[in-house]
């Protein structure tokens, strides 16, 4: 065991940019997603646009929606 107690001295990066890679993949492939919001409402559709603050979901037979990322609990492919 090292004298530092096994803890790494390097810090994890603040931003890995993997979120942007994943959102780009979902948007380009038009993969349907389900978004659960912090109020437990669920929205289903396809991601058409995204940026640092929000994503735009296009839905069938329903209006398109802009969802702020801070209101999203999680997102999953369906």
pTM, to two decimals: 0.78
66 sits in which H/E element? strand 65-68
Mean pLDDT of the 45-70 span? 96
70 sits in which H/E element? none
Per-residue pLDDT reduced to its tens digit, 29-50 = 999 999 999 999 999 999 999 9
Domains and CATH numbers, the chain: 18-77 (2.30.30.100)
Written as one string, the DSSP assignment of 13-61 is: PS---HHHHHHHHHHHHT-EEEEEETTS-EEEEEEEEE-SSEEEEE-TT
Say if residues 68 and 37 touch (Cβ distance below 8 Å). no
The C-alpha angle with vertex 12 and arms to 7 and 15, in degrees rounded to 5, equals 170
DSSP letter (8 states) at residue 12: P
């Amino acid at each position: 065991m090292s004298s530092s107690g096994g803890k790494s001295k390097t810090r994890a990066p603040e931003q890995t940019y993997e979120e942007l890679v994943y959102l780009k993949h979902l948007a380009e492939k038009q993969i349907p997603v389900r978004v659960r919001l912090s109020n437990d409402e669920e929205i289903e559709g396809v991601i058409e646009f995204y940026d640092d603050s929000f994503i735009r979901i296009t839905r069938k037979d329903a209006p398109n929606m802009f969802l702020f990322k801070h209101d999203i609990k999680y997102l999953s492919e369906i």
